[in-house]
């Protein structure tokens, strides 16, 4: 006779899918799971240009926002000043970006893309657009989804 206190429970063949019912109400959990589903392909494609996702993001934001400084860039992508400094060091030594002190306030650095950075950014935007795939969504659903996500993180 089995003793439920000490015996392992009888094993049933597991059903196909896991019950995540207590988690899928959480926007945070769902955002993370969706991100982890999508990002490996983006990472793989961007690696062909020797870029990681965050570096692509930096290139794109500098390209779209001339004269942006490190403070505003870091706030936008949620990277702390020390970590952004070392990231930009690397991108600068890779020849992708330039940093120039703002003549009106020499504390801040004005960021710009080098010609190589511009070219890499252009290629990366093409690559990333193709790699960011969500095959289970219709175009309308995808637009709806990004619209709602933007509403969450605000811009």
Partner DNA sequence: TATTGTTATACTCTATAACTATA
Partner DNA sequence: TATAGTTATAGAGTATAACAATA
Site for a second copy in 71-130 (CB under 8 A): 72, 76, 78, 100-105, 110, 112, 125, 128-129
Q: Token pair for residue 100?
A: 């120039």
DSSP assignment of 41-83: HHHHHHHTTT--HHHHHHHHHHHHSTT-BHHHHHHHHT--HHH
Question: Is residue 25 at the binding interface for a second copy, with CB under 8 A as the rule?
Answer: yes
Determine the Cα–Cα distance for residues 104 and 107; give it in Å rounded to an integer.
9
* Residues 49, 131 contacting (CB under 8 angstroms): no
Determine the Cα–Cα distance for residues 142 and 136; give it in Å rounded to an integer.
9
Contacts with DNA, 46-65, as mask; x by CB under 7 A:
------x-x-----------
Q: Smaller CB distance to DNA: residue 38 or 54?
A: 54
Partner from DNA, a second copy, none binding residue 145, C-beta < 5-8 Å depending on class: a second copy
Question: Is residue 106 at the binding interface for DNA, with CB under 7 A as the rule?
Answer: yes
Question: Is residue 26 at the binding interface for a second copy, with CB under 8 A as the rule?
Answer: yes
Number of residues binding to DNA, judged by CB under 7 A: 23
Question: Is residue 35 at the binding interface for a second copy, with CB under 8 A as the rule?
Answer: yes
Partner from DNA, a second copy, none binding residue 29, C-beta < 5-8 Å depending on class: a second copy
Question: Is residue 41 at the binding interface for DNA, with CB under 7 A as the rule?
Answer: no
Question: Is residue 88 at the binding interface for DNA, with CB under 7 A as the rule?
Answer: yes
* Residues 133, 37 contacting (CB under 8 angstroms): no
* Residues 102, 73 contacting (CB under 8 angstroms): no
Determine the Cα–Cα distance for residues 26 and 136; give it in Å rounded to an integer.
20
Under the rule (CB under 7 A), what is the footprint of DNA? 52, 54, 69-71, 74, 79-86, 88-89, 99, 104-109
């Amino acid at each position: 006779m089995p003793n439920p206190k000490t015996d392992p429970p009888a094993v049933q063949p597991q059903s196909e899918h896991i019950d995540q019912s207590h988690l899928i109400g959480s926007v945070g959990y769902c955002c993370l799971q969706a991100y982890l589903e999508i990002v490996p392909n983006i990472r793989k494609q961007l690696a062909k240009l020797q870029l990681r996702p965050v570096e692509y993001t930096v290139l794109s934001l500098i390209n779209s926002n001339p004269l942006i400084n490190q403070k505003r860039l870091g706030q936008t992508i949620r990277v702390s000043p020390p970590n952004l400094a070392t990231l930009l060091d690397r991108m600068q030594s890779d020849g992708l970006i330039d940093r120039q002190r703002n003549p009106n306030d020499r504390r801040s650095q004005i960021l710009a893309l080098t010609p190589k950075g511009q070219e890499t950014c252009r290629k990366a935007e093409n690559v990333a657009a193709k790699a960011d795939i969500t095959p289970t969504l219709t175009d309308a659903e995808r637009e709806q989804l990004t619209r709602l996500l933007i509403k969450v993180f605000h811009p």
